[in-house]
């Protein structure tokens, strides 16, 4: 039984560290917004229209 308790305590400590890290990231990190432009070649938009017949 002591081995099971030790295992559960270690799992709780690891889980607490993960949640603490996530909370710190949410609290202290402010992502910057920016515009993203992706150019798509016309062949990918309508390949049937541009295909040779």
> What pLDDT sits at residue 47?
63
> What pLDDT sits at residue 31?
85
> What pLDDT sits at residue 1?
77
Which tens digits make up the pLDDT trace of 1-53? 789 999 999 999 999 999 999 999 999 999 899 999 999 887 777 766 655 65
For the chain, which residues make up each domain, given as ranges? 1-27
CA distance 18 to 6: 18
> What pLDDT sits at residue 52?
61
> What pLDDT sits at residue 40?
86
27 vs 19, 21, 31, 33, 50, CA distance in Å? 12, 10, 11, 17, 50
> What pLDDT sits at residue 43?
74
Write the DSSP string, 1-35: -HHHHHHHHHHHHHHHHHHHHHHHHHHH--PPP--
**Inter-residue contact 50 to 42 (CB < 8 Å):** yes
């Amino acid at each position: 039984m002591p081995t099971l308790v030790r295992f559960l305590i270690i799992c709780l400590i690891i889980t607490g560290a993960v949640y603490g890290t996530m909370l710190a990231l949410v609290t202290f990190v402010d992502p910057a917004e920016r515009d993203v432009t992706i150019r798509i070649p016309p062949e990918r938009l309508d390949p049937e229209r541009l295909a040779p017949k």
